[in-house]
Amino acid sequence: MWPQVSAEALFWLGVVSVLSIFGSIGGVAWFIARMPADYFTHEKREPVRELYRWPLLRYLVVALKNVVGAVLIAFGLVLLFTPGQGALTILVGVMLLNFPGKYRLERWFITRRGVLDGLNWARARLGKGPVEDPADP
């Protein structure tokens, strides 16, 4: 037996769904626009230690960043099978997560067919220059 769902609940579920789609697209666009053009060209990513002076604030920001990254990866997986930029959304989600080997995975991911082109297409639409290819010397 399926539970009874009211029309009002379905309406609000639809509203939340549409708002989350536009919110995630806007968030990915904001992140892509702020990304430095040479983000993928470094051999090793150096941690930013002086960014947060208060440990509690740092832990809260890192936890929030990881939650948002996981949500973006899940949403990106859905977008792989529906219209949208699934690969870019997954890339941004991975970039927000903290785990060992993350930078190596980011560099591998950006070299997959179409990902760098899609990223640079989005940056051009936002009035930003292209991201440098990590494979170029």
The DSSP code sequence of the chain is: -PPP--HHHHHHHHHHHHHHHHHHHHHHHHHHHHS-TTTTT-SSPPP--TT-SSHHHHHHHHHHHHHHHHHHHHHHHHHHHSSS-HHHHHHHHHHHS--TTHHHHHHHHHTSTTHHHHHHHHHHHTT-PPPPPTT--
pTM over 0.85: no
The pLDDT tens digits of the residues spanning 58-110 come to 888 889 989 999 998 988 888 788 766 777 788 888 888 888 888 888 888 88
Residue 70 has what pLDDT?
Answer: 93
Flag whether pLDDT at 9 surpasses 90.
no
Q: What is the pLDDT of residues 23-68, one digit of tens each?
A: 767 777 888 888 888 888 888 776 666 556 777 888 888 899 899 9
pLDDT for the residue numbered 66: 93
The predicted structure's pLDDT at residue 3: 67
Res. 136 pLDDT band, cuts 50 70 90: low
